[in-house]
């Protein structure tokens, strides 16, 4: 329970940072996508289910305040978290290159989804321009930010793991 | 605690994903069907989030002030140079306006509009947070229903139209900027009263421009530098709010209508304070609703 509350607070803080202070580190009015970094990191660190829930709630917050269609961002972020959860068993989570690569791929897919479903369907065809002007800078900037932010998420997750391990079995460390 | 665990349903993550996907799709369909989001949920969430956003924004402003104080002289000099160039172009544009006699007469008419503009009831508000993505241009202001703000209220800043209120809560409101890709405004030119449609376009946001189309101007009387204001036939925008100047015009291939770009005088990237007009266009059209609203303002419920 305590874990869930801490996770939810992290989501809330990320959302609020993203909608207020992140504007001051924007380069050419492009901001990195902090909620996406969070749900990709949590997917990688904690598995598919966790990634999915974190993504769902991050997206839900955005939907509540800014979305034109309720449920749209929740869906996209949820899938981003879920798919990065596949890397949980395959990759080591203490290697910074893995989350950076994952964030790059997921942010790209996220942007393409937003473009495809909200712009292309309204007849905005110039994908190249959107790609150059928004998608590529956002992906690069998000990957760059992951380098710094991932350590914080890693630390939070370590604390969560420790507290739950202590509760479940004290003998864990002896067995190892 | 142990009893609880016995009854917990274990779901595979795949199945959970399918259920949540279904939930999200249902929510999307519901939004399309009803045309609005879950208001109660929004209000509950806003009670938690909005106060924090307010304090974070003011903290950000404080930090920015400190940084600005340390800004080096070189940057200021460069900015001065830039402003001089800008002033130069503005002066030449102004001259052109003065030379045009007809324009002058129309400007006098606009002056009357401006007077009306001053008589509109407004509420000053501060922008507390911005849309988290890079695709849209919406923001939240720190005034809401308690200050008399309603959906469809027009939002202006010192020099012109900024946007329109799309959602409200007790202490906050969401505003969609006119440069947002989903924004459409019915507008007209000041000197010839020709109607046109002004749209936000993500491809033009960097240049601070808007896109316009459907301008019917057979005699080529509309020129570059023409002032564009919100039209008298718009359903949502109060008449005569200044949108911007036409910066280029192209004849459409159908040889009937024209399209082009409009430069807005508002610097959306550094916008901090706005004015909300608390009278909707619909109030003018529906006097009963307006009367009810006026009595609401005069005697707010305890």
Residue range B124-151, pLDDT digits in tens: 888 888 887 777 788 999 888 888 898 8
Q: What is the ipTM of this complex?
A: 0.76
Q: pLDDT averaged over chain B? A: 80
HSE, CB side, 13 Å, CA atoms: give it for residue B20. 27
pLDDT of residue B287: 64
Residue A53: φ, ψ to 5°: -65, -45
Bigger pLDDT: B284 vs B298: B284
Q: How far is B10 from chain A (nearest CA, A)?
A: 12
Find out whether A81 and A55 touch, Cβ atoms under 8 Å.
yes
Contacts with B20 from chain A: Cβ below 8 Å: 52, 56, 78
Average pLDDT of the segment spanning B15-43? 83
DSSP state of B187: E
Taking alpha carbons only, the member of B257, B151, B139 closest to residue B194 is B257
Give the pLDDT band (50/70/90) at residue B114. Answer: low
The pLDDT score that the predictor gives to residue B301 is: 44
Residue B96: strand pairing partners: none
Of A35, A74, A119, nearest to B132 by CB-CB distance is: A35
| pTM score above 0.90 | no
d(CA A155, CA A153): 5
C-alpha A20/C-alpha A15 separation (Å) is 9
Residues B195-209: what's their mean pLDDT? 85
pLDDT of residue B69: 75
Low-confidence residues of chain A, pLDDT below 70? 165-176
Q: Which of A8, A24, A35, A20 is nearest to A146 (CA)?
A: A35
For residue B147, the model assigns a pLDDT of 87
Q: At what angle do helices A2-19 and A48-65 cross, to 10 degrees?
A: 40
Search chain A and give the residue with CA nearest B35. A69
Contact by Cβ (8 Å): B223, B192: no
Q: Write down the pLDDT at residue A167.
A: 56
Q: Do A20 and B60 contact (CB within 8 A), yes or no? A: yes
Residue B120 three-state SS: coil
* CA-based nearest residue in chain A for residue B39: A64
β partners of residue B113: none
Distance from CA of A175 to the nearest CA of B (A): 24
Residue of B nearest to A133 (CA): B203
Q: Are B230 and B185 in contact (CB under 8 A)?
A: yes
Assess if CATH 1.10.1760 describes domain A2-86+93-158.
yes
Give per-residue pLDDT as tens, B170-185.
888 999 999 888 888 9
Mean pLDDT of B9-31: 84
Report the pLDDT value the prediction gives residue B62, as an integer from 0 to 100. Answer: 83
Inspect the interface and report whether the beta carbons of B138 and A72 lie closer than 8 Å.
Answer: no
Contact by Cβ (8 Å): A117, A72: yes
Q: To the nearest whole angstrom, how far is the Cα of B16 from the nearest Cα of chain A?
A: 8
- Give residue-wise pLDDT tens across range B45-81: 888 888 888 888 888 888 877 777 776 677 888 888 8
What is the arithmetic mean of pLDDT over B256-277?
86
Q: What gap in Å lies between CA A104 and CA A52, rounded to an integer?
A: 18
Give the residue among B267, B239, B283 at the shortest CA–CA distance from B162: B267
Strands B195-199 and B227-230: unpaired
Percentage of residues in chain B with pLDDT exceeding 70?
Answer: 83
Using the Cβ of B56 and the Cβ atoms of chain A, whether some distance falls under 8 Å is answered with yes
How confident is the model over B30-42, as a mean pLDDT? 79
Q: Which residue of B has its CA nearest to A81?
A: B17
> What pLDDT, on the 0 to 100 scale, is given for residue B288?
65
The answer to whether the Cα torsion of B44, B269, A30, A124 is positive or negative is positive
Query: What pLDDT does residue B2 have?
Result: 47
Q: Is A45 helix (H, G, I), strand (E, B) or coil?
A: helix
Q: What is the pLDDT of residue B190?
A: 85
**Four-point Cα dihedral A76, A82, A87, A88, nearest 10:** 140
Q: Residue A171: its pLDDT value, please?
A: 46
> What mean pLDDT do residues B228-251 have?
88
Domain boundaries, chain A: 2-86+93-158
pLDDT, tens digit, 9 for 90 and up, residues A7-19: 889 998 998 888 8
Which residues does chain B have within 8 Å of residue A64's beta carbon, measured at their own beta carbons?
A: 37, 41-42, 45-46
Residue B45 vs residues A12, B39, B134, B138: alpha-carbon distances, Å = 10, 10, 23, 18
Would you say residue B16 has pLDDT above 60?
yes
Any A CB within 8 A of B28 CB: yes
Between B238 and B9, the more confident residue is B238
């Amino acid at each position: 329970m305590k874990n869930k509350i801490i996770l939810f607070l992290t989501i809330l803080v990320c959302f609020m940072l993203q909608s207020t202070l992140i504007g001051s580190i924007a380069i050419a009015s492009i901001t990195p996508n902090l909620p996406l970094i969070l749900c990709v990191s949590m997917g990688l660190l904690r598995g598919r289910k966790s990634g999915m829930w974190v993504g769902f709630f991050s997206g839900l917050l955005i939907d509540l305040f800014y979305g034109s269609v309720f449920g749209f961002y929740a869906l996209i972020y949820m899938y981003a978290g879920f798919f990065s959860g596949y890397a949980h068993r395959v990759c080591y989570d203490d290697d910074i290159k893995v989350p950076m690569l994952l964030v790059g791929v997921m942010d790209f897919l996220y942007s393409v989804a937003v473009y495809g479903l909200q712009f292309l369907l309204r007849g905005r065809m110039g994908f190249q321009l959107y790609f150059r002007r928004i998608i590529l800078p956002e992906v690069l900037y998000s990957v760059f930010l992951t380098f710094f932010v991932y350590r914080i998420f890693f630390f939070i997750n370590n604390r969560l793991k420790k507290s739950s391990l202590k509760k479940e079995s004290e003998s864990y460390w002896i067995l190892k | 605690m142990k009893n609880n665990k016995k009854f917990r349903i274990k779901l595979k993550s795949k199945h959970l994903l399918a259920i949540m996907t279904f939930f999200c799709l249902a929510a999307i369909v519901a939004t399309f069907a009803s045309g609005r989001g879950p208001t109660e949920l929004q209000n509950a969430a806003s009670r938690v989030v909005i106060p924090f956003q307010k304090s974070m924004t003011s903290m950000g402003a404080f930090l920015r002030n400190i940084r600005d104080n340390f800004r080096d002289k070189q940057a200021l000099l460069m900015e001065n140079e830039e402003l001089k160039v800008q002033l130069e172009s503005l002066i030449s544009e102004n001259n052109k306006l003065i030379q045009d006699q007809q324009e002058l007469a129309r400007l006098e008419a606009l002056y009357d509009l401006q007077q009306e503009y001053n008589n509109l009831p407004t509420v000053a508000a501060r922008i507390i947070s911005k849309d988290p993505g890079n695709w849209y241009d919406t923001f939240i202001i720190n005034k809401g229903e308690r200050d008399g703000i309603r959906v469809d209220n027009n939002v202006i800043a010192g020099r012109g139209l900024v946007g329109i209120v799309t959602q409200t809560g007790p202490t906050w409101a969401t505003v969609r900027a006119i440069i947002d890709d989903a924004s459409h405004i019915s507008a007209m030119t000041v000197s010839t009263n020709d109607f046109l449609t002004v749209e936000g376009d993500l491809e033009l946001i960097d240049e601070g421009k808007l896109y316009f189309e459907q301008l019917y101007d057979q005699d080529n009387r509309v020129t570059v530098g023409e002032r564009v204001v919100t039209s008298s036939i718009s359903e949502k925008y109060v008449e005569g709010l200044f949108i911007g100047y036409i910066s280029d015009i192209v004849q459409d291939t159908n040889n009937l209508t024209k399209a082009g770009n409009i430069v807005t005088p508002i610097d959306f990237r550094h916008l901090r304070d706005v004015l909300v007009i608390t009278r909707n266009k619909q109030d003018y059209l529906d006097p009963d609703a307006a009367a009810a609203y006026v009595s609401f303002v005069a005697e707010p419920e305890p």
